[in-house]
Structure 1
Amino acid sequence: MELRGRGWSILAAAREVGVSRTTGNNWSRGYKTYRKGEVVGFVAPLDRLAVREVSSRFLSQEERIEIADLHQAGLSIRKIAERLGRAPSTISRELRRNSHAGGSYRPFDAHRQATARRARRHRRRLDTNPALRELVAEWLSQRWSPQQISRQLRLHHPQRPQMWLCHESIYQAVYQPGTTLLRPAPVAPQHRSPLRTGRDHRRAHQKTERRRPRFEQPMLSIHDRPFPPEDRSEAGHWEGDLIIGKDQASAIGTLIERTTRTVRLLHLRQRDSDALHAALNERMSDLPAALLRSITWDQGTEMARHTAIAATLGAPIYFCDSRSPWQRGSNENANGLLRQYFPKGTDLSVHTPQHLRAVENEINHRPRHVLDDRAPAELFTALLASAEHLVLQR
């Protein structure tokens, strides 16, 4: 929190002290606690004042610990003040203010009490002005943005500065834990948050160059691929993705060869990069190098370890642009066909590797119009049988 007070980002401060970014976020912003999937509480963020360096005029935590030890040893207030180099009135006031009802003095509790008093928290204008709060709440329920509300307040009350608010004050009031501004609107009751984004907490924004990448570097873009998307003349280039099951809890990996439209399915025990790495190695290891030249994948986090996967398979991994599924058009089409066998909203973990092979065989032996009514399995078998796995002529 001291580093945050100096202007460090959460990620940089967390790295400096050796904790994870999640821990740094929890300390800095607080976090919700859950029981059986339901929110049961909120742990408040750490108070920056508790760790901020203050003037030597005020007692430090170390001095309070020494006061507790000397007071427990029976020394008088004047003796304690002499040992600490403080005025006797300072020690007397400390013991009087921060001791418990029974007369015991606990230094850490005392330091927290002193920090809380030093905060001098100011109440927001929305908390002290009921008319202003009701007006802002009414406009928020109509899905007005904080910027629109801020401008309208000045237009409606040009001579009353006490009715003005900047948009940041409105955002802070919406994001405050326990706020009453989060309530269903009459026209859109499905959304509690009055903001267009639907958020009930502030999302961190960092400069692009300071964001931690989700993937190992370097990443190969689809634009680095040595052929354009419409070129399907060379066999051995695959497109891949995941189809996701109920509640994002299960997945099946899908691969399609761009020239023959041959489909291969990956049985995933978990939805992570390690499971995908193992499944790709197991399923694609039977292919000759000429029929495994590259894989083009979506920017899903399951491919975070793409450099290790590329080294294992001996083939480069190319990534599509964000939100550009048409760059893997064959794979998207295949995923649509596969939904006949694996409907959306179902648990995909129940399907065994043997069942996935059966689905593969059925799809690959189905005649395709794009292949002049030949089956993908027929063309792929011909490629495997050819001496050099040459370019498919059709």
Structure 2
Amino acid sequence: MPRGIPASRALKRELLDRVCRGQSVTAAEIAMGVSHGLGHQWWHKAGGMTLTTGRRGGVADVIEQDRPGGPGHRISLAERVEIMRGLDDELSYAEIGRRIGRDRSVVWKEIRRNRGDDGDYHALMAHARSEDKAKRPKAFRLDDLKLCAAVEAWMDDGWSPRLIAQVLAQDYPADKLMQVSHETIYQSLYVQTRGSLRADLHKSLSTKRAARKTRGQVSGPRGVYASGEEFRISDRPAEAADRAVPGHWEGDLIMGAGNTSAIGTLVERSTRFTILLHLPVDHTAEAVAAAMIAAMGELPEHLRRSITWDRGSEMAQWRHIHLQLKAPVYFCNPHSPWQRGTNENTNRLLRHWFEKGTDLAGYTRADLKRVQDKLNTRPRPTLDLDTPAQRLAALISQTA
């Protein structure tokens, strides 16, 4: 027995060894003369895994043999035994690492990850737990009816899986059963046997895809307007690029079926606050300018410092917009929509309500206001889960 190890700990470790090798806790108690129930307490305090039922009753996957260890491999059982012995001998992580040919940080992470709730590190328990975690395919957790209902309701409202995962983690910090990763949500959408979400829920994604697709370049011309006198995006002040100062907006049109109808979109870069422009008749330069001036004219001057737009003909009246709003209009480089990425991302979110190929002229001003409010009251990961409406209201109140 290593020095400094109490007999009770040695007895407990022997019982854990037996269970990890496939013996039931009760059988181990009887064989070792341990009082009934004490072995179960030891098992659970050591962070024991779920046991099989029936005559055997040990862990589901009995450890029959070890695999190679060392750099480039996962930690082996033999290395875990050396770690346990080193801890028993009160060696430092660095010294234990030298014994097994590993960096001290590897030893520290292993102990931190796999020691039991009672603080003791047991080699065979740690190895069994590690092997259980490494099994593939991983079991999916998205089969709880309450959790599925919450995910479906948010996705029906246009929320992304990543946002849902972050909000759940914030709302239920101490309840792991009410947390789920965005990857699990995606897998449950794309592989129907791995979750309990509705089969048609993928249609609530901004992409509407039922399967993942490799990203590719978007080709083809976008926009035709360029007078030769307009402000270029390279002329825009640095404060707009780093979002340090509010009041810089990005805009564009989302088009309906046959490009005959449109809705104007404006997004403030620092708060992500969105304004939708109602264009019920047409989307000519005159109509867009009138709608933009009416909507942005309600904002305080310090919240309309600049507007960045694509090179579309709908911005032919940019001088008039500049004069009325006292906000210069900057144009992106040709075929460079990523230069107004905040607006591009928002337009993608808006497609949840305004699907491609539909007639957008039928939406009323009230319809646009309802969607605008939904988007502006949605928590945003980029805002530490604040909403755009909260951020904008704070900015307005600062000058009130």
Say whether the fold is shared (TM-score over 0.5). Answer: no
Larger Cα-atom Rg: 1
TM normalised by structure 1 equals: 0.43
Question: Taking CA–CA contacts closer than 8 Å with sequence separation of 6 or more, which of the two structures ends up with the larger relative contact order?
Answer: 2
TM normalised by structure 2 equals: 0.43
